[in-house]
Amino acid sequence: MTERPRIQAAIGGLYSWAAPRVYEPVVVKGAFRLFGGNLTELAFDQGRRAVGTAAGRPILDVPAGTGYFAGAAAHAHPGIVAGADYAWGMVQATRRRAIAGLVPVQADVHHLPFRSGAFAVILCTNGLQVIPGLSGAVRELARVLGPGGTVYVSVLLASLGGLLPARTGRRLPTVLRGGAAVAAEFESVGLTVTAYRRVRFAHLFEAVKRQGPFSRSGGPGRGSRAESPSLDPNPRRARRSRRPR
């Protein structure tokens, strides 16, 4: 067994255990608020934007966890929301919600059981920081997203990577990397970052899949429009987005 499957299995076991017990009270209602301020409200807002963008077409939420955010999107969405998660306990928790249109699927984001371009929109809420292998995860998200499709991402980052040489930074776990490094991963798989916002440790991205061929060697931030308007739906409150860092 190589390193990633071992770490991944341990993470899956931990989340499966937490799903029916402590996950929502401790993580969603506690840790997300502590590290991301109004992250929960911002994540719900990303869900509403995802539903609007999808306009009835299929949405993928991965990792869906207990379906806390995926369920809210499914309530508002007239089409299918596939809620995929690696941890069986999380999939069971989503299933127990029994929300029409929300389809729980056990899957590793590195090997999603969907055809290329299957989804118009992807929600990836507060998950990339715990999933080993950022590049592979982002590449697979881009694969299952249709051309012109949008991905809404929130991720908690401690941003130690900015203090280290680039080569060392790339080897760090995602949680220790910065917003610019995550944006560069998106750009390298053909996703153009169209909006970015940071609240405490929470980094929120909106990215669109480019229609034509893309370069795997696109450098950090290349082609990025990360300074486009913030994700805040209220234009009066909306502040100018900063470049990811």
Ligand X SMILES: C[S@@+](CC[C@H](N)C(=O)[O-])C[C@H]1O[C@@H](n2cnc3c(N)ncnc32)[C@H](O)[C@@H]1O
- Contacting residues toward ligand X, per CB under 6 A: 8, 11-12, 15, 27-28, 62-65, 68-69, 85-87, 90, 108-110, 125-127, 130-131
Collapsing DSSP to helix, strand or coil, 105 comes out as strand
CA atoms within 13 A on the CB side of 90: 29
CB 74 within 8 A of CB 82: no
Query: Nearer Cβ to ligand X, position 130 or 160?
Result: 130
Strand partners, 196: 205
Query: Nearer Cβ to ligand X, position 145 or 221?
Result: 145
Alpha carbon distances (Å) from 20 to 10, 23, 173, 197, 229: 17, 7, 27, 31, 38
Query: Nearer Cβ to ligand X, position 5 or 56?
Result: 5
CB 230 within 8 A of CB 198: no
CA quadruple 68, 73, 75, 80: dihedral positive or negative? Answer: negative
Query: Nearer Cβ to ligand X, position 202 or 221?
Result: 202
Query: Nearer Cβ to ligand X, position 92 or 194?
Result: 92
Q: At what angle do helices 179-188 and 134-144 cross, to 10 degrees?
A: 50
* Residue nearest ligand X, Cβ-based: 65
